[in-house]
Structure 1
């Protein structure tokens, strides 16, 4: 099936031995509805069509947004408008009761390390079947120390430091999230221009970091480590071999700084069979620095104002084939992808369910 799913590899990428697919537990029941208090955030009224679509999805497929504090999702995720601060504090439980939103990206961990107790507080607000996609802190994922405007001030001596990665990210997340841990993602920020010709050094540092990671299986049987990048210079056979050697996933990054999805699929094929971790970050029409433009265009993030059916179709094929192999699928969707993450999740779910993968041969 992967022959039909993925385009041909670059000729210099070596073949690899196939690995056995991991078994995935069946979908667990959602958290009880009675947990929201009168002062808390309440979910939108149940939509039978969304519930039916969720039941039709393979249980391995988990879709979600990048955080949950958006007032514009009133009527879609929340029963009525709430303030952003209310949603940040109390919205996660209501978010987790949306039938299609079975995971969420925790982005704030990139800006400041979270403690085990903070992760535990998140885990206590969701059901057993819910999973978190968590970004590693910039402390270890950014080669530069940046100012408030995002400009690099100096080289970060802690970039890809294995000890700090374990201490500030991996161990607290494992301890606090437990079985609700879905994917721990090392999103590597853009490198300083002077480093791009020296990718061998960066690959060596990444290799050392990944070698120090513990197994997640005792903590969360379907937990995954993944690496996401922002420089296309990382995307080489040597990079893929490092991921393969350590059993770490390539986080499919749908962002204008990287090639289109079709040009990244060779990496997934070389790592096959492998769970899918994807973050659909920003519509390509906005360009590599287009977050501000996207925010202005998409307003309150309540509508799909920039549908991207080509990306959605390709992603649906990968998700469907991965789930058919019995492997976990985690897709985190930003509002900046098409304008509204919950509506993107619905459209993606329809694409996954609606077009079965042709049989081999």
Structure 2
């Protein structure tokens, strides 16, 4: 299966040279400060427009949310606060040459309505696709306090009825054909459940088999992202394959690096790629807050991760060449600045297209 997933693997020692970047990524250039003005996209960067034309049409790159003031000069013009960008920045974001997707993270913390999803859909082009996270109320085995500490067992963990009513149906109704991926991110399990994965797998199978048809959204994929390495087994791959779901390649420090997760993709080949490149391992397994401080205001690459980038580019190239969609969303915490990481990843993908 390794050769099927990476048909060019025998040539990896001498890949086609990547085009030299125009310049080393640097901080966004200064732009006029225009408080209170409309959020406008940056003028088209012709090098990014040309790069986007070379990307496989089945690849959809995007960020993890869009409300970052530090992207001034990279995604939008002017100086806008986070609140304004959250409300009004999506249209400008969707005009970035490389961004044809975005991950809606806020749905993880509170279920969204069909009307809220519809408002997002109205702000982007027809070819745009959303990656949406299921609420933690059904994907976390524990109920947590405001500081994230587990306080009790979650009685509706992986409850299909609630997942459909509060997540799948609103997202499908509101986003329509712009729905790309429904992600069930399973939070780290408490030790008793982690020691009894058969029970978790049985609940997950029942949920996935109960989901309604997504035929109204032809590109839509259901994907499951684990936060425990113990999930990376043939049994988990077989469960997802049997239920028509994808494995979400979750690149963050609680899971093995990309090489340690490739066997799951090979076991499920062929099929779509869903990847969320979230947290650089240099920050540690619980390094979200330290990454926030280290990378803010998210306007430059701080911790380059060329191995992850090049390996992911190889997987994207193989997946799209085989006729399958690839959804890849990137957090600022991956390297420091999602738009610049997307540009570097796009260059790496283009260099592998023969």
What TM-score results when the alignment is normalised by the length of structure 2? 0.90
Secondary structure, counterpart of 1:46 in structure 2: coil
Shift of 1:215: 2.2
State how far apart, in whole Å, the 2-side matches of 1:3 and 1:108 are.
38
Equivalent residues in 2 for 1:91-240, closer than 5 Å: 91-216=89-214, 218-240=215-237
Secondary structure, counterpart of 1:171 in structure 2: helix
Number of the residue aligned with 2:254: 257
Secondary structure, counterpart of 1:264 in structure 2: helix
State how far apart, in whole Å, the 1-side matches of 2:208 and 2:296 are.
39
State how far apart, in whole Å, the 2-side matches of 1:196 and 1:132 are.
31
Secondary structure, counterpart of 2:276 in structure 1: strand
Task: Confirm whether residue 313 of structure 1 aligns to residue 313 of structure 2.
Answer: no
Shift of 1:219: 1.4
Shift of 1:5: 4.2
For residues 225-273 of structure 1, the C-alpha deviation after alignment (integer angstroms, 9 at most, x for no partner) is 0000101111111111110001100000101111111111111111111
For residues 193-232 of structure 1, the C-alpha deviation after alignment (integer angstroms, 9 at most, x for no partner) is 222111111111111111111221x211111000001011
Number of the residue aligned with 1:281: 278
Number of the residue aligned with 1:301: 298
Q: Select which of 317, 320, 324 maps to 2:321.
A: 324
Number of the residue aligned with 1:27: none
Number of the residue aligned with 2:334: 337
Number of the residue aligned with 2:82: 84
Shift of 1:355: 2.4
RMSD value, Cα: 1.4
Tell me, yes or no, if the aligned pair for 1:281 and 1:337 is still in contact at 8 Å: yes
Tell me, yes or no, if the aligned pair for 2:6 and 2:314 is still in contact at 8 Å: no
Tell me, yes or no, if the aligned pair for 2:278 and 2:330 is still in contact at 8 Å: yes
Shift of 1:73: 0.1
Choose 207-216 or 121-130, whichever is displaced more.
207-216
Tell me, yes or no, if the aligned pair for 1:140 and 1:165 is still in contact at 8 Å: yes
State how far apart, in whole Å, the 2-side matches of 1:340 and 1:80 are.
18
State how far apart, in whole Å, the 2-side matches of 1:154 and 1:195 are.
13
State how far apart, in whole Å, the 2-side matches of 1:319 and 1:215 are.
26
Task: Confirm whether residue 244 of structure 1 aligns to residue 263 of structure 2.
Answer: no
Number of aligned pairs? 326
Secondary structure, counterpart of 1:219 in structure 2: coil
Tell me, yes or no, if the aligned pair for 2:5 and 2:270 is still in contact at 8 Å: no
Q: Unmatched 5+ residue regions in structure 2? A: 8-35
Where do 4+ consecutive residues of structure 1 move more than 2 Å? Answer: 4-7
Q: Unmatched 5+ residue regions in structure 1? A: 8-37
